[in-house]
Amino acid sequence: DAGVTQSPTHLIKTRGQQVTLRCSPKSGHDTVSWYQQALGQGPQFIFQYYEEEERQRGNFPDRFSGHQFPNYSSELNVNALLLGDSALYLCASSVRGLQTPLHFGNGTRLTVT
Amino acid sequence: AQTVTQSQPEMSVQEAETVTLSCTYDTSESDYYLFWYKQPPSRQMILVIRQEAYKQQNATENRFSVNFQKAAKSFSLKISDSQLGDAAMYFCAYKRTGNQFYFGTGTSLTVIP
């Protein structure tokens, strides 16, 4: 039973560029959430997707956008990268309607130079 | 806004001994869930234990147990018979109905052989 998988593992981008991160949820899960974890901090909620729509959003600017595909996989896009976007980006999946805990992937380490 | 506070940035424990990690949270909700997640150097967030606020009985999972004090909004994690593999960052998390999780800033646990 595959868990949550994220790609790539590491990424280095230049300020002003755009980046796309990818996530496949755990088998049987239909909801994907994205979190940003800055160095030394806890994860911060970016947004959540269910049925291919953004359902909830945290306090992040519109430069952060996403998408969910019919197979429940998801992408996180960040435009006009800033140095402060450097962080570990975690994808988590769950089952909508059930009070299940989040299952996390190993994250993508994004460095903006 | 919900906030989760972990006041111990670092803790250490001798192998086979017991350690308690503290967590407090702020909410006006009566129905919610609390979690402890472990994040080893591999970066993957792993669920340690969960507690439903409506349950008065403290959750237990093998060597891990919690002390849930709803009135005080306190949710501490006790690790008994500590093992070297317990060394990691530990995050306390809060979730109300819906799927947005709020995380604390984490406690780094060192296990001394």
- pLDDT (tens digit, 9 = 90+) per residue, A8-62? 999 999 999 999 999 999 999 999 999 999 998 999 999 999 999 999 999 999 9
Residues 6+ apart with CB under 8 A from B69: B75
Q: Which of B42, B91, B99 sits opposite A106 (nearest CB)?
A: B42
**What was the pLDDT predicted at B1?**
58
For residue A105, the chain B residues in CB contact (below 8 A) are: 44
Mark yes or no for CB contact A102/B45 under 8 Å: yes
**What was the pLDDT predicted at B41?**
87
**What was the pLDDT predicted at B47?**
94
For residue A25, the chain B residues in CB contact (below 8 A) are: none
Token readout for A90 is 């975690």
Residues B94 and B29 sit within 8 Å (Cβ to Cβ):
no
Beta bridge partners of A19: A78
* Distances in whole angstroms, Cα of residue B101 to Cα of each of A44, A74, B2: 8, 18, 10
Q: Judge whether residue B17 has pLDDT over 90.
A: yes
Residues A13 and A111 sit within 8 Å (Cβ to Cβ):
yes
Q: Judge whether residue A112 has pLDDT over 70.
A: yes
Q: Judge whether residue B63 has pLDDT over 90.
A: yes
Rounded Cα distance, B32 and B30, in Å: 6
Rounded Cα distance, A24 and A75, in Å: 9
- Whether the ω angle into residue B9 lies within 30 degrees of 0, i.e. cis, is no
Amino acid at A68: Q
The beta-strand segments (E) located in chain B are 3-5, 10-14, 19-21, 24-26, 32-39, 46-52, 60-61, 64-69, 74-79, 88-96, 101-103, 107-112
- pLDDT (tens digit, 9 = 90+) per residue, A74-105? 999 999 999 999 999 999 999 887 777 889 99
Average pLDDT over residues B77-100: 92
Calculate the average pLDDT of chain B: 93
**What was the pLDDT predicted at B65?**
97
Helix (H) or strand (E) holding A20: strand A19-24
Length in residues, chain A: 113
Least Cα distance to B77 among B86, A42, B45, B85 occurs for B86
Mark yes or no for CB contact A101/B47 under 8 Å: yes
Q: How many CB atoms lie within 10 A of CB B41?
A: 8
Site from A5, A10, A37 to mutate, B interface, most B CB atoms within 10 angstroms: A37
Residues B48 and B90 sit within 8 Å (Cβ to Cβ):
yes
Q: Which of B35, B37, B43 sits opposite A107 (nearest CB)?
A: B43
Site from A31, A104, A106, A110 to mutate, B interface, most B CB atoms within 10 angstroms: A104
Site from A99, A103, A109 to mutate, B interface, most B CB atoms within 10 angstroms: A99
